[in-house]
Amino acid sequence: MTAEDPTPTTPAEEHSTRGAYVAIGESFDRDMNYIDDRITRDGRDGWPVEAGRYRLVAARACPWANRTLISRRLLGLETALSVGMPGPTHDKRSWTFDLDEGGVDPVLGYERLQQAYFARFPDYPRGITVPAVVDVSSRAVVTNDFQQITLDFATEWTAHHREGAPDLYPEAQREEIDALNRWMLHHVNNGVYKTGFAGSQEVYEKEYRALWAALDELEERLGRSRYLMGPSITEADVRLFPTLIRFDPVYHGHFKANRQTLASMPNLWNYTKDLFTTPGFGDTVDFAQIKRHYYYVHEDINPTQVVPLGPALEPLLEGHDRDRFDTDTWGPQGTAPGAPLAAEVVDPAHTPLHVTGR
């Protein structure tokens, strides 16, 4: 399929510009019907964990994909699981590989992620979403279940973890992590979208208040420990960070979540700065792609498609106060990940990390 190929449209186009969102009256809710196949050690769904067999497709612009890039870095899965990165924008059909030479993913040979979905489901009716894991040999999508993918990275891919990989999903805390993650998904990760895509003043005000009530609760929680679950980083931090790092550049203005900036909330802001300068977090963030995606793709919210120049990013490198808490960032046997692969380094012009050479 070429860029000029007049492929027939599908029902997925009806909501592709809003990812997996569907309208419910004047409100928006996330379509949670994902391809729920899992890649596991025992291969019980037909997809056994194998180094080199799969390719993670994850756009840096997308917060749901960003969490998979963070998890992959923290656990050291780079050599076992390759990554394809679409550009920051997409059309009604699909995310596209326009950052690659010739606009084609060099491993899959595709111009559009849609092709991997259609290779397995020719009549796939839902949104073509990232992250997605694709089987390289068949070039067909395996799963796009963003909530399960990172859990499986932590628990099923352990044979390919780097030495010193942190335990992001410790067994003793799983029940609490799961409960917190469900709450954050509804009230924070999705909460910003519910606010931004509200179709009436009444719905907007309801979702706005719910979002800020949740952020206030997190502000209080982060006044008790360095990370969400205590002294060490867990899956919960991996899920919250992509929302927080996008808050002031995008959600505050674009989604009208503007009671105040994140930078004015001491615990949330210092927590965000702390994680941004932690290896595996900030080095996966491309602010230029993030802003290009939201302000360009959401034409119904921003019809001019003008992308703002601000806010200034250098404050993310200012000192934080999180070391006042007990800290065991990587866990008892854990260590920080090494530098990103050369091919996966974020463009220095798109991040303030280059200011200090971190």
* pLDDT of amino acid 31: 76
Domain boundary among 102, 127, 160: 160
Give the Å distances, CA to CA, from 108 to 53, 85, 86, 291, 346: 12, 12, 12, 27, 22
Domain boundary among 103, 137, 160: 160
Do 187 and 299 sit in the same domain of this protein? yes
| Residue 154 belongs to domain with CATH number | 3.40.30.10
Do 175 and 156 sit in the same domain of this protein? no
| pTM of the complete model | 0.93
Kindly state whether residue 166 falls inside one of the protein's structural domains.
no
Kindly state whether residue 56 falls inside one of the protein's structural domains.
yes
CA torsion sign, 231 to 235 to 236 to 242?
positive
The question of whether 54 is a catalytic residue gets the answer no
User: Which residue in the list 34, 117, 124, 193 is annotated as catalytic?
Assistant: 193
Residue 152 makes CB contacts below 8 A (sequence gap 6+) with 38, 39, 40
The question of whether 62 is a catalytic residue gets the answer yes
Kindly state whether residue 278 falls inside one of the protein's structural domains.
yes
Do 211 and 109 sit in the same domain of this protein? no
Do 191 and 339 sit in the same domain of this protein? yes
Share of the chain above pLDDT 70, in %: 91
Mean per-residue pLDDT for 46-51?
98
Q: Find out whether 95 is annotated in a ligand binding site.
A: yes
Task: Name the region of 17 (left: φ>0; alpha: ψ -120 to 50; beta: rest).
Answer: alpha
From 23-27, 109-113, 183-187, the region with the lowest mean pLDDT: 23-27
Domain boundary among 102, 128, 160: 160
* pLDDT of amino acid 75: 98
pLDDT band for position 25 (50/70/90)?
A: low
The two three-digit tokens of residue 1, written as one number: 């399929």
Do 209 and 316 sit in the same domain of this protein? yes
d(CA 247, CA 263): 9
Kindly state whether residue 104 falls inside one of the protein's structural domains.
yes
Residue 80 belongs to domain spanning:
11-160
Bridge partners, residue 133, by sequence: 56, 143
* pLDDT of amino acid 20: 53
Do 275 and 313 sit in the same domain of this protein? yes
- How many structural domains does the chain have? 2
Reference 290, options 273, 274, 311; nearest CA is 311
User: Which residue in the list 34, 54, 62, 227 is annotated as catalytic?
Assistant: 62
